[in-house]
């Protein structure tokens, strides 16, 4: 299939973060784009403002007539679309060309010089940093989050160079054609797909074998490539780390050079690792270290990655996508680094019954490190409930006197009842929407107290 011959592209699940980036890309490159999603959102609204026709009722009658011509229409779907979805089955029955999002991204990377970021953690931040750097050479970047510098999940450039997230879920990254790639981490995750860590590791090996030019890996991973690390022997080594006025300043040694006093505004050593991975990829591509340094100093971050919703001298509210124990630990470390003498409350919404079951002890350990814990019900996403797997079970495992199961309608009251002045809201479900509501109500309360 040649994308150049396709005139209409129809998206099932167009409001998803990965789907919408591709929809925006095609709409910006002259294709006719339309789609379905379950609910309206700021993302769907922005797409509609670009001229994309979107509806929110699953019915064939809502599909624009021109998109019913199967010779000129490509249908793109997300795995989150249920198999009994009416429109999906219509396209199947009428033998339309139907591809998963990952396959379409793979088609795009076939015809570009592709820089791909893989790893169970850090993909979105690393690819967003890299996209910001590679904007220097007009790369088009498909991101799994909203980059603050661009207020978008797409950094639109030319059709010659692409920056993409290489997603291990459903082995999607094996559809890509990467020239330069990095692997940030290989922790156990998506065991509903892989069943065990060995199968997950095998998929990363398969991905590394697809890289045509250079593979870059976090030091210690069981892959072969250029390595990067903080204050350790590696091909790319960040050292002399210090924090001044909440900003990281550090030096980097590359295989051929050294650059000093890089400034980076995101908190946490894990984000320094993400910046280092992006630096290494851009350096291998050929961006000058001085330009990389300048870009790193102006990177503002990614929405829902340690995003400050409220930041005053008396109260802080942080929103983060962390939904795996290792990511929760990274957030907790960052909060303690930034606010070493403050009491910290975590509000956590578990994501997926299977992930909660598979990592129950690790979740409990990570959450126990906070001073105060509010636990919401499990967000099911694509799953049906598993008997015995619920937030009460997780709560029973958390070793913390200040822990409570909360409900969405009581959450603001429960937060106000805590003495903590630093609150972090974590999860990959709809807690991001909830964080906006909490922010609004808490700001009103803070204004009233003032």
The full length of the chain comes to 450
What's the mean pLDDT in 237-252? Answer: 93
Q: Which helix or strand (DSSP H or E) is residue 23 part of?
A: helix 17-28
Give, rounded to a whole angstrom, the gap between the first and last alpha carbons of the chain. 62
pTM for this one?
0.84
The two three-digit tokens of residue 62, written as one number? 């809502």
Residue 83 pLDDT: 87
Tell me the three state secondary structure of residue 129. helix
> How many other C-beta atoms lie within 10 A of the C-beta of residue 369?
18
Q: What crossing angle do the helices spanning 17-28 and 42-49 adopt, rounded to 10°?
A: 10
pLDDT value at residue 170: 72
Question: Which residues neighbour 146 within 8 Å (Cβ) at sequence distance 6 or greater?
Answer: 17, 152, 153, 302, 303, 304
Portion of the chain with pLDDT greater than 70, in percent? 97
pLDDT of residue 192: 59
Report, as an integer, the average pLDDT of 33-58: 94
pLDDT value of position 449: 60
What Cα–Cα distance (Å) separates residue 203 from each residue in 175, 191, 215, 323?
A: 12, 13, 15, 22
> What CATH number is given for 3-99 in this structure?
3.40.50.720
Which CATH number describes the domain made up of 112-297? Answer: 3.40.1190.10
Using one digit for the tens of pLDDT, what is the confidence trace for 195-212? 677 888 889 999 999 999
Looking at the DSSP assignment, which residues form a beta bridge with residue 166? 118
Dist CA 146 CA 34 (whole Å): 21
In 349-431, the DSSP E strands lie at: 372-375, 403-405, 422-426
Mean pLDDT along residues 385-401: 96
Q: Which two tokens stand for residue 158?
A: 């030319």
How large is the average pLDDT for residues 275-293? Answer: 98
Cβ-in-10-Å burial (0-12, 13-18, 19+) of 336 comes to middle
Which CATH superfamily includes the segment(s) 307-449? Mur ligase, C-terminal domain (3.90.190.20)
Nearest to 241 by CA among 269, 213, 208: 269
Looking only at the bridges linking them, the beta strands covering 344-348 and 372-375 are parallel
Across 310-314, 327-331, 371-375, which has the greatest mean pLDDT? 371-375
**Closest CA relative to residue 17, chosen from 35, 44, 57, 50:** 44
Please check whether the two domains, 3-99 and 112-297, share a CATH topology: no
**Contact residues for 107 (Cβ-Cβ < 8 A; gap 6+):** 1, 3, 99
More confident call, 144 vs 373: 373
Q: Tens digit of pLDDT for each residue in 85-131?
A: 999 999 999 999 999 988 899 998 898 999 999 998 899 999 999 99
For residue 260, what are its two tokens? 């000093």
Query: How many C-beta atoms surround the C-beta of residue 198 within 10 A?
Result: 8
Encoding tokens for residue 119? 């790893």
| Residue found by looking up tokens 């892989």 in the block | 194
Residue spans of the domains in the chain: they are: 3-99, 112-297, 307-449
pLDDT(450) > 60: no
């Amino acid at each position: 299939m040649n994308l150049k011959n396709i005139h209409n592209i129809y998206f099932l699940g167009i409001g998803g973060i990965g789907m919408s980036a591709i929809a925006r890309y095609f709409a910006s490159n002259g294709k006719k784009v339309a789609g379905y999603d379950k609910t309206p959102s700021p993302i769907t609204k922005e797409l509609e403002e670009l001229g994309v026709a979107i509806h929110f009722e699953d019915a064939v009658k809502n599909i624009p007539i021109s998109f019913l011509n199967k010779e000129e229409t490509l249908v793109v779907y997300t795995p989150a679309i249920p198999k009994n979805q009416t429109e999906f089955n219509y396209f199947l029955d009428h033998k339309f060309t139907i591809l998963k999002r990952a396959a379409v991204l793979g088609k795009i990377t076939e015809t570009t010089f592709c820089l791909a970021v893989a790893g169970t953690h850090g993909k979105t931040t690393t690819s967003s940093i890299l996209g910001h750097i590679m904007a220097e050479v007009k790369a088009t970047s498909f991101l799994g989050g909203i980059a603050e510098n661009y207020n978008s999940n797409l950094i639109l450039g030319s059709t010659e160079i692409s920056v993409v997230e290489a997603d291990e879920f459903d082995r999607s990254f094996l559809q890509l054609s990467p020239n330069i790639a990095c692997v940030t981490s290989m922790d156990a995750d998506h065991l509903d797909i892989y069943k065990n860590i060995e199968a997950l590791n095998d998929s990363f090996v398969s991905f590394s074998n697809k890289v045509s030019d250079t593979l870059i890996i976090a030091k210690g991973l069981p892959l072969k490539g250029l390595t990067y690390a903080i204050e350790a022997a590696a091909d790319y080594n960040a050292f002399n780390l210090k924090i001044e006025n909440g900003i990281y300043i550090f030096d980097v040694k590359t295989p051929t050079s050294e650059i000093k006093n890089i400034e980076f505004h995101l908190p946490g050593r894990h984000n320094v690792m993400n910046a280092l991975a992006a630096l290494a990829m851009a350096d291998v591509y050929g961006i000058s270290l001085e330009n990389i340094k300048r870009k790193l100093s102006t990177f503002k971050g990614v929405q829902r990655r340690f995003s400050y919703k409220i930041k005053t001298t008396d109260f802080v509210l942080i929103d983060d996508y962390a939904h795996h124990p290792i990511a929760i630990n990274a957030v907790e470390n960052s909060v303690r680094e930034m606010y070493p003498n403050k009491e910290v409350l975590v509000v956590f919404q578990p994501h997926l019954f299977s992930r909660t079951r598979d990592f129950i002890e690790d979740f409990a350990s990570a959450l126990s490190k906070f001073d105060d814990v509010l636990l919401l019900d499990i967000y099911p996403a694509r799953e049906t409930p598993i008997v015995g797997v619920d937030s009460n079970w997780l709560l029973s495992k958390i070793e913390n006197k200040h822990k409570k199961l909360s409900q969405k309608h009581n959450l603001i009251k429960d937060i106000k009842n805590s003495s903590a002045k630093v609150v972090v809201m974590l999860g990959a479900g709809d807690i991001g929407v909830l964080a906006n509501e909490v922010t609004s109500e808490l700001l009103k309360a803070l204004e009233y107290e003032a």
